[in-house]
A and B are shown apart, each in its own frame.
Chain A
Amino acid sequence: MLKRLFLATLVLMMGVALVNQEGCSRKPKGAEEEMVGVEKGRKVRRRPIGEDEYARRGVSPLQTVYFDFDRADIRPEMRTVLQRNAEWLRRHPRVKMSIEGNCDERGTEEYNMALGQRRAEAVKSYLVSLGIPSNRLSTISYGEERPADPGHGEAAWAKNRRADFSIVR
């Protein structure tokens, strides 16, 4: 029963992740053509690598890590999440991951940039301590700019204080 529930959750999560992925790859029509000039430049986009099904779809199977308000230390229950993530990374040694630190909207944008960076670094350190080579892990902070839930209450904020994983080439 529990196992079935876990599988169902996993499938659901993958579904959500896929929808999200589609959502962000959509870009405004003609954005490239409309560029003013000084900003004309290379468009860098992440591409999935072909190591396995997850990677082919560009969807990270790693679970999101959540944080307490204004904190960047790993919560005890998140250690098991990170251990599972590390296990997956060990089984897929060619995959490189970007760890994306995010914050809720309550602090300032400037401070949240720094806090998100600290969260991403905390996750990276933990994975490195579990034996994942640091050159497979990069970090980036999006501060409060990429909320998982655009709402304005504690329920939304709790989902936004997080570190996501995305596969990079």
Chain B
Amino acid sequence: MKRLLALFSVWIVGLSALTEAKARVYIDVTSQNIRKLNIAIPDFLRLLGPKDAHVSLNRQIYEALAFDLGMSGYCNVQDKDTYIEKSSNLTGLQDTNLEDWRLIGTEMLVRGGLRLTSSMFEAEVRLIDISRGEAVLSKSYRGSQSQVRWVAHLMANDILERLTGERGAFDYQLVFSRRPTPRTKEVYMMDVDGAGAVALTRNGSLNLFPAVSPDGTRIAYTSYRHDNPDLYLMSLAKGTLVRILSHPGLNTTPAFYPDGRRLVVALTKDGNAELYEADLAGRLLRRLTHSFGEDISPTVSPDGGKVVFVSDRAGGLGLYELNLETLETRRLVPDMSYCTDPSYSPKGDRIVFSARQGGTFDIYSVQANGGGLLRHTFGEGRNEHPAVSPDGRLVAFDSTRDGVRQIYLLNLKTGDVMRVSRSRNEESQPAWRKR
């Protein structure tokens, strides 16, 4: 218990900002054109502290920044081998040879320095516009050295905000289900770039379908630890675990309401699977669906007015929209016969889902009204369980494209796909978690 609490009680000691008041945005996110800025991330300068710790922190910062900025779709992270300037020759953060960067086509330079003291670190970061020859963002960060990756993800969000006017979601984490042995699945959590995976459950049974509350403090999931698929609520803030639903049969596929105080779940207590609304104590507030089919896998719209779910009521698997006021349902994308795992975008304007067409599962999306179908993956392995990021730009999903099922990120605008987890064990069912 103490170990777990220690993991979650970390925080950044100080976060001081010295940003230009109003500055132009470099990339118009609303534009259909994809223009990537050439960005260089040379080694951070060692301003204070031992060399080996500096090397380790510098590497971790680079890995996180390069992943985030590359995945954002707005940056082309330049290959380190092309850099002319040598960080080791520099005397301080001011000492940048602009010509060395102009020659290799760099447009933006991340210039950073590190001061290490005992278990803490301080990072000074400047984003330098090479053509103007001046810093357009200057910020310093302090934290514990064990949290350097988290801080690096915050740096990436700050840089993206400066370039595009919108923050990224790279400081979020992914909660997912891993299969450590053939007959067990446990809930895990990792950074958005796959680093720092930790087990949240270790009970040797099946732990499935994790859903995270909007504030990131609670995780609802199905566990077989007491020989029935019951629904559990884990509080990361309090370090508690409560079995909240243990009806006979399935207590499964939870989804949080935007207010974080209620859940939609699928229960088979009245025959086949139906959707119910429950509070966090497990009290059933109302039954939401009445059908002869299995009604499962709900996602609640950001305004709390609708639920999109999966049902086999008309044969195959269809996506249905449920109006939470009238409890009327209507089918979305009726011409797709096997749809699953819907996930609302944070603005509620689109629904991302997985569908089986011609034997393979791929990621698709539609407008909330069911129109404007887009396909996002193209038959590489089996692609399922999409979850839209809180900034609406990325989709986390699982795929068998490289063999064992792993977690991937998809950039909805560029179509870029990047592998996140690198485990020998099967990993699936990702959900975003606010840190």
Interface residues of chain A, those whose CB is within 8 Å of chain B, are 24, 27-28, 31, 34-44, 46, 107-111, 113-115, 117-118, 121, 139-142, 145-146, 150
Contacts and interface: CB of A to CB of B under 8 A. Distances in A.
A137 to B, nearest CB: 12
22 contacts: A27-B204, A31-B202, A37-B3, A38-B240, A39-B200, A39-B203, A39-B225, A39-B241, A41-B225, A41-B241, A43-B203, A43-B204, A109-B208, A110-B209, A110-B266, A110-B296, A111-B312, A114-B272, A115-B294, A117-B273, A141-B229, A142-B206
Contacts of A40: 1
B249 A44 contact: no
Contacts of A114: 250, 266, 268, 272-273, 294, 296
Interface string B403-435: 000000000000000000000000011000000
Sort chain B's interface into a size bin: 35 or more
B71 interface: no
A11 to B, nearest CB: 26
Given A36-B202, A108-B297, A110-B340, 6 more contacts: A39-B225, A42-B226, A108-B310, A111-B296, A114-B268, A146-B183
Given A28-B181, A141-B229, A141-B250, A111 B340 contact: yes
A58 B127 CA distance: 67
Nearest to A116: B250
Nearest to A146: B183
Contact of B3 (A31, A36, A46, A108): A36
B177 to A, nearest CB: 9
Given A37-B2, A38-B239, A44 B204 contact: no
B140 interface: no
Nearest to B239: A38
Contacts of B183: 24, 145-146
Contact of B203 (A24, A35, A108, A117): A35
A27 B227 CA distance: 16
Given A35-B202, A114-B268, A141-B250, A108 B317 contact: yes
Contacts of B206: 142, 145
A31 B1 CA distance: 15
Interface string B226-258: 111100001000011100000011101100000
Interface string B170-194: 0000000000111101000000000
A114 B317 CA distance: 12
A112 to B, nearest CB: 10
Q: Which of A111, A113, A118, A142 has the most CB of B within 10 A?
A: A113
A98 to B, nearest CB: 8
Contacts of A28: 180-181, 204
B12 interface: no
B400 to A, nearest CB: 11
Nearest to B184: A28
Nearest to B295: A114
B204 A31 contact: yes
A110 B310 contact: yes
Contact of B294 (A37, A46, A111): A111
B250 A38 contact: no
A117 B3 contact: no
Interface in B299-357: 310, 312, 317, 340-341, 354
